[in-house]
A and B are shown apart, each in its own frame.
Chain A
Amino acid sequence: MPGAFDEMTLPDGSSRPGYEFLDSWLKATPPDLLALRRAEAELLFRRIGITFAVYGNTDAEERIIPFDIIPRILTKPEWTRLSRGLEQRVRALNAFLTDIYSEGEILKAGIVPPDLIYRNPYYRPEMAGLKLPYNSYIQIAGIDVVRVDADDFYVLEDNARTSSGVSYMLENREVMMRIFPDLFAEHRVAPVENYPEELLATLKSVAPPTAPEDPTVALLTPGPYNSAYYEHSFLADKLGIELVEGRDLLIRDNAVWMRTTEGPKRIDVLYRRLDDDFLDPLTFRPDSALGVPGLMNAYRAGNITLANAVGTGVADDKAVYSYMPDIVRFYFGEEPVLKNVPTWRCREADSLAYVLEHLHELVVKEVAGSGGYGMLIGPAADKKTRAAFAEKIKADPDNFIAQPTLALSTSPTFVDSGIAPRHVDLRPFVLSGADKIRIVPGGLTRVALKEGSLVVNSSQGGGTKDTWVLDQ
């Protein structure tokens, strides 16, 4: 996109704060050396990738998500503002969920339409009236943010269910430190390696008040055939907790136990990477073989903490997203630090009419969609595609929202033609415990490797970068 904000280079060709060294280093480094380093990095990932293939469905080697060796840099002041905004955002999401599952003040006040919540597929009536310890619903959030200029960050999506990708953040850093020790010597890069410890501290902090002082935490996975299984086993390993499947757990007297060689062992906190629908066949989908029969009974009895809580998905619905600035103001009486992308809700007749008329300049998304699927990028689509999409919107307007196409910032990226700007986003991981909010400085930067492309999803040709937050 012409005129997009470049994070390294100013229009006059000079480099922006934080990028000075990298810029001159890149200019001084011959491309074949970069290519060599990239090959090295790929080898390292392949070695890790062996583990990916292990868990694959077949013997075929699994695709490795492309990794760009040029780091993306954020200065300390930029990060400070961003993390303050993230913290505010996650507090607001938790306040909102606490409210809609109890009194529903924000609905009564007419800020958010009750229909949008109560008829939302991700709203769980089973959670109504349940008082969660510390009013903590979202312990782990991956908030997708983008920047369009030097000053502003926009939130693109609040991933409030089971957001993934943190294993890439950790491994990207590991690989970068091995191939570019000299660059790390020149920059004071804030560490991300403590993420597992911070995650464990967060999970322990939200244990039921009746749990022992050192609560037992386990990670619940759908199993080896899940596409994120590698991340599940990676995290369980780093946290030093058991990686359990539904069949490893049993409910006895409304408490959760895992079957171990030393007899049943009580679990206090379950970091679950299994969707609501599959958690408990006695409450949700009766055909789920992945879940734990009776888990919701134990949950409602207050004997287990599920992280994230059941029913958080209603908060990352894209139509609910559009109310986030109002939600922040309603609960805290303050202005949101992070901006929201202006959003037209097709459920409203005026907006629908506007969207249908301006399809060529808008991005249209399904309210519950993710992963870059089910969306239309108006400016990039041809007339026929737009017309077909218009029919889809008209058939079910409630299901769509539209946003202007943002000029996502670009970051220098090593591609076939050399070093070139490519559009990026950022998914920082926000850990929200009973005691405090923890954000490791950095996150997962996703980069659209195709020239001009705005789609960063790995399923659609995106890659990743290491994200450096400078500590000075």
Chain B
Amino acid sequence: MLSRTADSLFWLSRYLERADNTARIIDAASRLVAMPISYAGESNEWESALAAAGALEAFKQLYKEADRDSVIDFLAFSSLNSSSIKSCLETARNNARAVRTALTSEMWEAINAGWLDIKRYDGTKMDRPKLNEFLTRVKEACLRFDGSAYRTMLRNDVYYFSRLGVYLERADNTARILDVKYHVLLPAEAGIGGGLDYFQWSSILRSVSALTAYRWVYRESLKPWLIADLLILNEQMPRSLASCYANLSSYLDALSAAYGRQGASQRTARSIRTRLQNSRIDDVFQEIGLHEFLTDFIAENGRLGGAINAQYLV
């Protein structure tokens, strides 16, 4: 396959995953600020949302203060933000067009229709119902594309590259969401407790659509270290770092089997996966430190992206 085709597929998936993720972050933030307890002076949820989306610095170059309207505009609609939901969908659709013949017609229709749908929103007068409607449509467009890929694609390198994009992006997103909120998960602060913490914890789970999953897995009330365990180390949880890396290494292995050759990507993915498998959540909290662990992970994940790029995409 042409490197350019693989690159377009990889980024097509990454951009869609990013759009989906940003939609969940906005959703979680807007629920949190609507909670009865006032957080004034404690933390700015909108700023946290920017940080979780990795967009805080870019935002600050354009705006002075992070409030509801400016953050929603920047994260969802702004053409000045190449990672805004709209920008992501537009880039994804352009990539899809460039590799049209590598996609199934179902995938093309999903992304094309999704883009045409989202394009209609210009970001003005985004009251709560309208915002909800918009975010739902974004999530649906991503689901539709993902589902059509799953149901219609041949399991060959075309499929592998599009999956690699999904999981690399998802691992990065989950790690960032956790890192932005790591302080509310720390035991020392957990003691302060009360309703505030509960809302924060449930908000983290909500931003990765894992609130129900938590209850099914642990069958007890929200505990910060169990939340971290679920999102970092539990391979059953589809957005956890462990699950992302189970998938990344399996698709990279499939590629190396297909091509009869392996390289830095396979080695890097395996080593990250092994580290996740050998970690216990107590060690993460007590010995390494949650923040340090996550910062390190985000950098390693970035290195894997670089290795995939160098090995296959240029």
B101 CB within 8 Å of chain A? yes
Q: Is the CB of B6 within 8 A of A261?
A: yes
Q: Is the CB of B1 within 8 A of A55?
A: no
Contact (A59, B116) CB under 8 Å given A233-B100, A248-B2, A260-B2: yes
> Of the candidates A54, A224, A233, A261, which one forms a contact with B1 in the assembled complex, judged by CB atoms under 8 Å apart?
A261
Interface positions of A from 17 to 66, Cβ below 8 Å from B: 51, 54-55, 59
Residues 129-147 of chain A: 1 if any B CB is under 8 Å from the residue's CB, otherwise 0?
A: 0000000000000000000
B279 CB within 8 Å of chain A? no
Assuming A51-B100, A258-B2, what are 14 further A-B pairs, CB within 8 angstroms? A54-B100, A55-B100, A224-B98, A243-B101, A245-B4, A247-B4, A259-B2, A260-B3, A261-B1, A261-B3, A261-B157, A261-B259, A262-B259, A262-B261
A456 CB within 8 Å of chain B? no
**Residues on B with beta carbons closer than 8 Å to the beta carbon of A260:** 1-3
Q: Give the distance to chain A from B74, nearest Cβ to Cβ, in Å.
A: 25
Which 10 pairs across A and B sit closest by C-beta, in order of nearness?
A259-B3, A261-B312, A261-B6, A261-B1, A262-B259, A248-B4, A248-B2, A260-B2, A233-B101, A54-B100
Contact (A259, B259) CB under 8 Å given A242-B2, A245-B4: no
**Residues on A with beta carbons closer than 8 Å to the beta carbon of B259:** 261-262
Q: Give the distance to chain A from B192, nearest Cβ to Cβ, in Å.
A: 52
Closest chain B residue to A245, Cβ basis: B4
A237 CB within 8 Å of chain B? yes
**Residues on B with beta carbons closer than 8 Å to the beta carbon of A233:** 100-101
**Residues on A with beta carbons closer than 8 Å to the beta carbon of B314:** 259
Instruction: For the complex, count residues of A whose C-beta is within 8 A of B.
Output: 19
B270 CB within 8 Å of chain A? no
B161 CB within 8 Å of chain A? yes
Interface positions of B from 249 to 275, Cβ below 8 Å from A: 255, 259, 261
Interface positions of B from 273 to 314, Cβ below 8 Å from A: 312-314
Closest chain B residue to A258, Cβ basis: B2
A82 CB within 8 Å of chain B? no
B97 CB within 8 Å of chain A? yes
A328 CB within 8 Å of chain B? no
A100 CB within 8 Å of chain B? no
Interface positions of A from 281 to 301, Cβ below 8 Å from B: none
Q: Give the distance to chain B from A261, nearest Cβ to Cβ, in Å.
A: 4
Closest chain B residue to A51, Cβ basis: B100
Docked Cα-Cα span, A412 to B313, in Å, equals 54
B77 CB within 8 Å of chain A? no
Closest chain A residue to B314, Cβ basis: A259
**Residues on B with beta carbons closer than 8 Å to the beta carbon of A192:** none
Closest chain A residue to B308, Cβ basis: A261
Closest chain A residue to B313, Cβ basis: A261
A469 CB within 8 Å of chain B? no
Interface positions of A from 113 to 128, Cβ below 8 Å from B: none
